[in-house]
Amino acid sequence: MPELPEVQTIRNQLGKLIVGKKIARIDVNLPKMVKLPLDKFRKIAVGSKIKSVGRRAKILIFGLSNGWSVLTHLKLSGRLIFRKKSEALKDEDKKWNHLVYYLNDGSRLFHNDLRQFGYVKLIETGKLNDFFAKEKLGPEPLEKNFTLGDFSAILKRKPRAKIKQFLMDQQNIGGIGNIYSDEILFAARVYPLCKIKDLKPTEVKNIYQNIKKILSEAVKLKGTSADLYLDAFGREGDFLSRLKVYGREGQKCVKCKSIIKRLKIGGRSAHFCPHCQRL
């Protein structure tokens, strides 16, 4: 968290808010978040124009006019909040601020992060493909060229993997995390600990279709504010009310009225309905 829908929401918003503006100044209050010497970071970034805002998996990419890109990973609790010059600061702008980008029109972009797991990197734009190749990120699930055949082929590489963990592994598919893997598997009626080799063809198809459906719906509703996530305007996402299992341990299933349960898997939690998602 934030996952693909949240990061894509921020990307969509910032693409309209900051592209074409110059970075006039950068305040760094937590140097460890910037994964290069601060002098070099400022020398390259300050004075450059923001040409584009992109996304790869859960990583935001700010393309600069000087041939470099700023990569920002929000990890568990990071936020990027934009404020106009005339806009008064709000409480969420003042908490846990580690980087502040001042733009040439007086607007500001606040990068705050309670848990401090996020990072900022500078990569030459021409070397982004090499960087992401080294990260071994999986395909983008919402791309039109990500087909059921592609998904099936990826699954076959790890037949003994548990499907919940498989979906969250960024080297398999980019952008899916704890929230949406729970929701996808519930919609597909698949038990989270089911091994890939035991999935039926209809279940594989259902998982694939719900990856597309649920992630797309979450993007339209600007993400899920189940924890600290806020969009670029400092607002909560609207997908929280659509959650069927994530965060609903002990509550009744919306379909069968059984009690939603939670189990631990690889240090993470999986929420599921024991009736709708039986092995």
Residue 136 Rama label (left phi>0; alpha psi -120 to 50; beta):
left
Q: What is the pTM of this model?
A: 0.96
Domains and CATH numbers, the chain: 4-135 (3.20.190.10), 148-272 (1.10.8.50)
Average pLDDT in the 203-211 region? 98
- Which active-site residues does the annotation give? 2-3, 58, 268
Average pLDDT in the 253-267 region? 95
Cis peptide before 159 (omega within 30 of 0): no
The percentage of residues in the chain with a pLDDT greater than 90, rounded to a whole number, is 92
Over the stretch 16-40, which tens digit does the pLDDT of each residue have? 999 999 999 999 999 999 999 999 9
Which residues are within 8 A (CB) of 243 and not within 5 positions of it... i.e. 6 or more apart? 179, 183, 224, 226
Residue with the two structure tokens 């979906």: 167
- Identify the residue with better confidence: 97 or 252: 252
pLDDT of 94 above 80 = no
pLDDT of 218 above 90 = yes
Average pLDDT in the 72-87 region? 94
Of 54-58, 112-116, 214-218, 270-274, the least confident: 112-116
